[in-house]
Amino acid sequence: MSQSFWLAALGEPGPARPALPGDRSVDVAIVGAGYTGLWTAYYLARADPSLRIAVIEARYAGFGASGRNGGWCSGLFPVPVAALARRHGREQAVAMHRALAATVDEVGRAAAAEGIDCSFAKGGTVALARSAAQLRRAEAEAAEAREYGLDVSLLDAAAAREKCGATGVVGGTFSPDCASLQPAALVRGLATAVERRGVAIHEGTRALRLSRGSVVTDHGTVRAEVVIRALEGYTAALAGHRRALAPVYSLMIATEPLPPEAWERIGLARRETFTDHRHLIVYGQRTADDRLAFGGRGAPYHFGSRVRPAYDREPAVFAALRRALTDLFGIDPPIAHRWGGPLGIPRDWMPSVGLADGLGWAGGYVGDGVAAANLAGRTLADLITGTESELTRLPWAGHRSRNWEPEPLRWLGINAALRGTALRDAWEVARR
């Protein structure tokens, strides 16, 4: 397994938290000690300190996407607002997007309140257009946002370059609803914060089966009135959930710290996160110690929804990321770290959160889970405590995506889509 730059920067986490000591009973059992599970525990413990809450984690808190993502705490939602409006109506679609935008500030507020130093910097996000086709997509995105009253502005070439000095920029879009942060520092601090509130975290304890009223693990059975599944990209490994979410890999690289003269040209003075309007997603940020951390999709989906440590390292994808970074900024900086891992994608790309008959779930964030997991945690806390709120009425609450197709259709379909997306981008680059 490749350790992320973020985790490596923090050093060793200290002694492992003890595994589940055997059978026990609690009020709420949460499976997964990433952002979703920990935020759920955090807001539950705040709402009702008398609750007995246990978090079950196969490895250690922050092992998954929470400790290795791109550090974008963003208001992005995988389903565009117009598409969401067609399914749920204009008012609900706008409410969903605005709730996520507001969540960016809530993450910063909660981190500050708990003394979590995660290098939170709300500089917004700039999406560059570097071809005529990308500019058309930028214009369409800004027009859609304007129609629905969302805060996304169209940038001309000069304004886009002022924020992010990339090569070949012809325009772009900007949203203020994004903060860059150190994701592993956030999840590690959050784990400590929930423990201070009396929540038990059992590391090194693998959940084998979930059912109403119990979690069967390799160290005993946890009985609980409410059981929450918060496994994101690792959901498919759980018995009975192989087709619920597809684990698709996203890989990252991080440079050595760059000198001041490089940053004078690159910009990102407010630590704006950055991407461009290509089809195959790329994402990056300027870290607090002046590195470029840059990632993207393109790694293959593995047959049977398999997740293996070896899949974290795809030399061809790392090489492609380096070429993309060089193309963006006209530099070839030394690469200090390479890592990756799976994220969870639902069949309809619609994240969801819900509670039914004592079984709750949240996830399917399609790679934009840093803020969404906080919103999901607050929503689950309201659902569990029976609190009627605006959050429990959002369109993702209670949504259930249909299962992915059985193999080999799943493998063929996902990889064909990934390949097709890459080919479309290559064709546009050739025409640039």
pTM over 0.95: yes
Name the token pair of 65.
């996407």
Distance, CA of 346 to CA of 404 (rounded, Å):
8
* Rg value, the chain, Cα: 21
Q: Give the pLDDT score at 1.
A: 55
pLDDT digits (tens, 9 = 90+) for 163-198: 999 999 999 999 999 999 999 999 999 999 999 999
Q: Give the pLDDT score at 427.
A: 83
- Strand 72-74 and strand 207-211: the pairing is unpaired
Contact partners, residue 261, CB within 8 Å, separation at least 6: none
Q: Give the pLDDT score at 203.
A: 97
> What share of the chain has pLDDT > 70, as a percent?
99
pLDDT band of 383, cuts 50, 70, 90: very high
Map tokens 């990056």 to a residue.
284
Q: Give the pLDDT score at 432.
A: 66
For residue 13, pLDDT over 80 is answered with no
Average pLDDT score over residue span 309-336: 94
Average pLDDT score over residue span 220-236: 98
Average pLDDT score over residue span 349-375: 97
Distance, CA of 416 to CA of 314 (rounded, Å):
18
Contact partners, residue 117, CB within 8 Å, separation at least 6: 185, 189
